[in-house]
Amino acid sequence: MGAAIEAACLGAAAAGSPLRFVPAPDPAGPPVGWLVPAGRPADPADVALAAWLPLRHTARVAHRAQQVPVIVQVALQAEAARIGGRLYCVTDQPAIRRLAALAQRATAAAFADPAVHAEVWHWLRLDPAAPAYRRDGLTADCLGLSAGTHRLARWVLAPAVMRRLVGCGAHQLLAADTGRLVRRSACLCLLTLPGASPAPWIAGGRALLRGWLHVAAAGLTTHPISALLDCPATVGSACAAFAARAAHPAALFRLGATPRVAQAPRLPLDAFIEQEMPDAYHQF
C-alpha cells in the first residue's frame, strides 16, 4: 500500500498536479488515508525520480559479476533513514551463502504450506494463451523460464501436484533452485522499520519504492526474497546474517546488475481506482 501511495504521489508530481498523503485518524480500520492536493509545487527531485516508474522492474536471474556502487547503497540507506528505518546491505560471500541456504529452507516451507502455495499459484501466469497472461502477475517471460523449464513448471507447480511432491519430499529439489539463485547475488538488502503499527509500514513501503527507483536509475535491478521473512523458521536467522538489531524487518531483496529481462505486466490505473471523488480526495 505504501509503495502504491508513493507511486501515485510521484506520478502526480511529474504530471504537474502534486499530491500528499493524509493518513486516516484510525489506522486500524478502512480507509488507510487519502491523497489530496499538495498545495505546493512539486519537488524537482521527485519529478526526476518519477521518470523511472515505468522502467523499474524485478529480475529473477543471476547477477553479473560486478559490485553494486556504494552510491546506490547510500541512496537506499538515505531513503530508509528518512522514515526512521534502516537499510542493511551484505556483499560478502559467506553471508550470502548463509542467506541462500535459509532462502532454500524458506522456499521449501512455502511449497509445503497449501495456503501460501495456492496464493503463489494464483499470481503465476504460465499459459501464454490465457487472457490474464498480459494483464498482471508473474509470467513465464518475466520469470526467465526456458522452454523446457516452462513446460515443467506448468505441471509441477499446480497445487494438486505440489501436494504429492511435498508428500514424498521432492519439493526440496525445487526449493534448491532458489538457493542457487540467491548464492549468485551481488548484494542482499534488508529494510527494517522502527515500529509494527500501520504508519511505519506505510512509510516503509514508500521508502522501499523510492529506493528501488534509485536502483533503476543506476541501471540495476531488484528481486524480493520475501519467503525469508515470511517463514517463522528463517526470519530470525536472516536478520542475524545482516547483524540487524531492529525488531521489525519489512523487506529483503537481491540487488545487482542483470541482463535485460522481460517486465511483468501491470494493471492499468482504471483497474484499481474505483472512482474519482468529487472533492479531489482519492481514498486508499
CATH of the domain at 148: 3.40.109.10
Q: Which of 72-81, 175-184, 192-201, 213-222 has the lowest mean pLDDT?
A: 192-201
- Kindly tell me if the per-residue pLDDT of 60 is higher than 80: yes
pLDDT value, residue 247: 74
Q: How many domains does the chain have?
A: 1
248-271 pLDDT, tens digit each: 999 999 999 999 999 998 887 777
Instruction: Label residue 38 by pLDDT band (50, 70, 90).
Output: very high
**238 part of a folded domain:** yes
Range of the domain at 208: 62-263
pTM tops 0.85, yes or no: yes
List b or e across 222-245, with b for residues whose CB sees 16 or more CB atoms inside 10 angstroms: bbbbebbbebeebbebbbebbebe
The more confidently predicted of residues 273 and 76 is 76
In a domain, 167, yes or no: yes
Residue-level pLDDT at 193: 95
Bond before 31 cis per omega within 30 degrees: yes
Does residue 190 lie in a domain region?
yes
Averaged pLDDT, 177-185: 96
Asked, for residue 41, whether it belongs to a domain, the answer is no
* pLDDT given for residue 284 in this prediction: 60
CB 36 within 8 A of CB 20: yes
Q: What is the mean pLDDT of residues 110-125?
A: 94
pLDDT for res 195:
85
53 neighbors 7 (Cβ within 8 angstroms): yes
> Rounded to 10 degrees, what is the CA torsion of 202, 253, 121, 230?
-70
CA distances from 55 to 8, 18, 66, 164 (A): 15, 21, 21, 39
Q: Is residue 86 pLDDT above 70, yes or no?
A: yes
Q: Is residue 32 part of a domain?
A: no
Domain for residue 229, yes or no? yes
Residue 205 counted as domain residue: yes
Identity (one letter) of the amino acid at 188? L
- The closest alpha carbon to 121, from 169, 170, 154, belongs to 154
Indicate whether 193 belongs to any domain.
yes
